[in-house]
Structure 1
């Protein structure tokens, strides 16, 4: 069970947060506002929550659980999704709480959360912004996904990659926006999606799928080097 503690400068003056646990995250949830920032670097796909069956969006950073193919020296070199930025931090009754057992707090090499005067550091300010992004963005993203579903725009995507070792890898349970279905919508529906900002999301998401091939190339190179 998590060990929850309300974040405060007196108790957590020596707390440090590390990005090293990014290396074990192959998938991270993102919200609609993050699509334009994430699309240049990651494939964005939809999947279903295992408990509720509700759709949510996320970025794929690895092809197997526990293995992030995009980290360099343990950290992501490009856009870091809010879900990773806030690892170990949560909001409860309007207050920031932390899970002291989270891997993001392990070791002493991370960034300090409070400075010597007890004021929030840049690291903590990034966490605060990430929590705000998720808190505001998840309901808005849920609404956008509902509109995609109403118009029949989400469809399963077949992601099967072949590698030089002869062992193919298939990713299941992922969905994409169907551009064919989108382009077949009546003008009134397209105008509705445009005014809601959903068309930008649709084209950012579908355009990001090219990065799946990048992940495949990275994994294949690791296989050749004996690192996978």
Structure 2
């Protein structure tokens, strides 16, 4: 059961924040403001919330649940999605709340949340910024996705891979922007997407799909290393 606690310097002065939980995340939600930095490192794809069926955007970091292929020596590339940065932290009634049982706190090591003076340390400031990015960005991103859907631009993507040891892997439930549908839009619709900034995000998403090959190569290399 989660142990929800209101974050405060008095009760959590000694609490430290570990990034070790990153290694178990194979997918992380992102918002529109994250597309451009995220596209440099990760494939950006759409999927559906299992409860509501609503589309949301995210980055693929691994090909199997519980395994992040992008971590090197426990660290991710230059861009770390806000959804990872805020792991274990939530907003409730305008206040920052933590799940004291979350893995980011379980290690008892990492960066402190508070300075000796009681002020927020850099690790907590990054969490606060990540919470702000998500709080401000989710509704705007939902609106962008609705516009993509209105133009019938989102389609399923077939992600099937075969590795040197003969094993095959298929990722289901992922979607991408259809470039064919995008390029077939009437001029007025394309211009509206361009002026609204949506067109740039569509090309960022489709361009990022090439990183799936990188994930496949890393996965294949680790299979080969494990077989030695």
Alpha carbon RMSD of aligned pairs, Å? 1.1
SS, match of residue 11 in structure 1: coil
Q: Give the match for residue 222 of structure 2.
A: 222
Q: Deviations over 1:50-108 (max 9, x none)?
A: 00000000000000000000101222132100000000000001100000000001122
Q: Give the match for residue 38 of structure 1.
A: 38
| Equivalences for residues 1-228 of structure 1 within 5 A | 1-226=1-226
Alpha-carbon offset, residue 227 of structure 1: 7.0
Contact 1:21/1:74, CA 8 A, preserved across alignment: no
List alignment gaps of at least 5 residues for structure 2. none
List alignment gaps of at least 5 residues for structure 1. none
Contact 2:33/2:137, CA 8 A, preserved across alignment: yes
TM-score, normalising length from structure 2?
Answer: 0.98
Contact 1:19/1:104, CA 8 A, preserved across alignment: yes
TM-score, normalising length from structure 1?
Answer: 0.98
Contact 2:3/2:100, CA 8 A, preserved across alignment: yes
Q: What is the rounded CA distance, in whole Å, between the counterparts of 1:27 and 1:60 in structure 2? A: 5
Contact 2:162/2:169, CA 8 A, preserved across alignment: yes
SS, match of residue 210 in structure 2: helix
Q: What is the rounded CA distance, in whole Å, between the counterparts of 1:64 and 1:40 in structure 2? A: 21
Q: Deviations over 1:8-29 (max 9, x none)?
A: 0000000111100000000000
SS, match of residue 45 in structure 2: strand
SS, match of residue 126 in structure 1: helix
How many residues align? The count is: 228
Q: What is the rounded CA distance, in whole Å, between the counterparts of 1:189 and 1:42 in structure 2? A: 28
- Structure 1's 40 and 223: CA in aligned 2 closer, same or farther, altered over 3 A? same
Instruction: Show structure 1 runs of 4+ deviating over 3 A.
Output: none
